[in-house]
Structure formats: structure tokens, C-alpha cells
């Protein structure tokens, strides 16, 4: 599962790292970043293309989207929180995701994400970890996006979710799944009209990544400061 991310750079620096995408559509989000403790339901800059000929999109473009996928065919606001993740297994056939997977894939640029390790296997004592690239560079998660029209306001709301896969050897020491991270050379293919790029949805090489334990204050989405990423001593497990 991937339920919390961080973007430690300001918006301009993040967009420069993905300069192949047009950026005008998200300039208004500049005052929202850095974001050190990003939760679902917030808006993030994602990259989409003109696969379905969105009138505002011509080629790879940054747009603002809310984390939590609402399919376009939904008639009313969901009664429970919309899905923030989609498992890669069966994604091409699961009704909730299959159309978006075929036609509306996106990149979600971040600096890192958080995951919690169940220390004693009881679910009551979890140690949070920050996970990032060993190089310190931003990277892109694989995602799906939709545009849903709110029948009450007639407003078009763009939403997205993160695709997950089995964990690599490093992340597997704290959790059994991880978000799909795409190599830069695969960005274009992921955004292309190809119907089923399934082979891209695999664990990212562990030797290119790093993780470290952090303070439990990350558990409160209201806490959003740089020291949330400060490393702690590895937790005792006895």
C-alpha cells in the first residue's frame, strides 16, 4: 500500500526535474509545496498526455489532480473514501480500474513515500520509515487518473490513484507491497496509447533505493515540517 508521500522540493524545482512535460496548468499550486507529509484527498501535480484528446492537454502535461480515484461513470459522490491504490495484479480486468489503465495512465512525481513496519506482528506497534532514491533525486510513481463530474456542482474533478506491486527485497523487510516506480526511460511508454504495458509494473531495483526509520509524528497528517524526515536509530524489535 502507498498512503503517504512527500515532496521536499518547491514546485518549480520538481517541475524542472520533469521538464519534458508542460507546466502552466499547475503554476497556481506553487504555494502548496514543499509538502513533507502528503496524504490522500489533497491535490498533487501529475503528468498526463492527450491519449483521450483532453482539450487542455497536448502531449505530456502537468495537471492538478486529487488523490483518490473516482471513476467517470460514478453517478454520485462515493459513500466511502475512494481508492488511493490499485494493485497491478488484474488491473487490466478489474472494473474499477480497467478503462483508466487502458487509456488514462499518469506519472506522479514525488521525492519519497512513507511505509509502516509492524514491529511485533500485532498491528499495535508500527514503526514508520521514509523511502526514497539512494541518489536523492525525485522519481515518478505509476498511476491512473480520471475526470469525474460532480452532479451537484457540475464541476469536473480530476482524480488519481497509485499502482502498487509486490515489494522489492529492501521494502519487503517492512511491508509486502510498494508503489510501482518507473525508470525515466519508461516514462514515455507508460504515457503512450499502448493498451497493456504490464511488464513495467514490477518492483524497482532495491540497490537504487534507501530507507530509514523516522519519528511517529508522521502519523498525523497535520504535522508537515522538514524534520519529519530526520532519521532515528533503528527500532528495537525484542
Into how many domains does the chain fold? 1
Tell me, yes or no, whether 196 lies in a domain. yes
Q: What's the rounded Cα separation, in Å, for the pair 188 and 62?
A: 14
User: pLDDT at position 51, please?
Assistant: 46
Residue 230 lies inside a defined structural domain of this protein = no
User: What beta strand segments (E) does the chain contain?
Assistant: 5-7, 35-38, 43-48, 61-67, 85-87, 105-110, 112-118, 126-133, 139-150, 155-166, 177-179, 181-182, 209-213
Which residues of the chain fall below pLDDT 70?
50-58, 76-78, 120-123, 234-238
122 burial via Cβ count (<10 Å: 0-12, 13-18, 19+): exposed
The boundaries of the domain holding residue 24 are 5-115+137-206
Is residue 174, in this structure, part of any structural domain at all? yes
Give a yes or no: residue 223 inside a domain: no
Q: What is the pLDDT of residue 109?
A: 98
Please indicate, yes or no, if residue 130 is contained in any of the structural domains.
no
Q: Is residue 97 a part of any domain in this protein?
A: yes
Tens digit of each residue's pLDDT (9 = 90 or more) over 209-229: 999 999 999 999 999 999 999
Question: Quick check: is 238 in a domain?
Answer: no
> What is the per-residue pLDDT for 1?
74
How does DSSP classify residue 14? H
Distance CA 137, CA 192 (A): 24
Q: How many C-beta atoms lie closer than 10 Å to residue 8's C-beta? A: 19
Question: Quick check: is 31 in a domain?
Answer: yes
Tell me, what CATH number does 97's domain have?
3.90.1680.10
Amino acid at each position: 500500500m502507498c498512503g503517504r508521500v512527500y515532496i521536499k522540493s518547491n514546485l518549480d524545482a520538481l517541475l524542472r526535474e520533469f521538464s519534458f512535460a508542460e507546466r502552466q496548468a499547475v503554476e497556481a499550486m506553487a504555494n502548496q509545496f514543499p509538502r513533507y507529509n502528503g496524504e490522500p484527498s489533497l491535490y498533487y501535480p501529475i503528468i498526463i498526455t492527450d491519449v483521450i484528446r483532453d482539450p487542455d492537454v497536448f502531449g505530456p502535461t502537468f495537471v492538478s489532480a486529487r488523490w483518490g480515484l473516482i471513476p467517470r461513470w460514478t453517478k454520485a459522490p462515493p459513500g466511502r473514501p475512494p481508492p488511493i491504490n490499485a494493485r497491478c495484479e488484474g488491473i487490466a480486468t478489474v472494473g474499477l480500474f480497467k478503462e483508466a489503465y487502458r487509456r488514462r495512465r499518469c506519472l506522479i512525481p514525488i521525492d519519497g513515500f512513507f511505509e509502516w513496519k509492524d514491529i511485533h506482528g500485532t498491528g499495535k506497534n508500527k514503526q514508520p520509515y521514509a523511502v526514497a532514491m539512494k541518489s536523492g533525486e525525485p522519481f515518478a510513481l505509476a498511476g491512473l487518473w480520471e475526470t469525474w463530474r460532480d452532479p451537484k456542482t457540475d464541476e469536473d474533478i480530476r482524480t488519481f490513484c497509485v499502482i502498487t506491486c509486490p515489494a522489492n527485497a529492501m521494502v519487503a523487510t517492512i511491508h509486502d507491497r510498494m508503489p510501482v516506480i518507473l525508470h525515466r526511460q519508461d516514462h514515455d511508454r507508460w504515457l503512450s496509447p499502448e493498451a497493456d504495458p504490464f511488464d513495467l509494473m514490477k518492483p524497482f531495483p532495491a540497490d537504487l533505493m534507501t530507507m530509514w526509520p523516522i519519528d511517529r509524528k508522521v502519523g498525523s497528517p497535520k504535522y508537515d515540517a522538514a524534520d519529519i524526515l530526520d532519521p532515528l536509530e533503528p527500532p528495537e524489535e525484542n
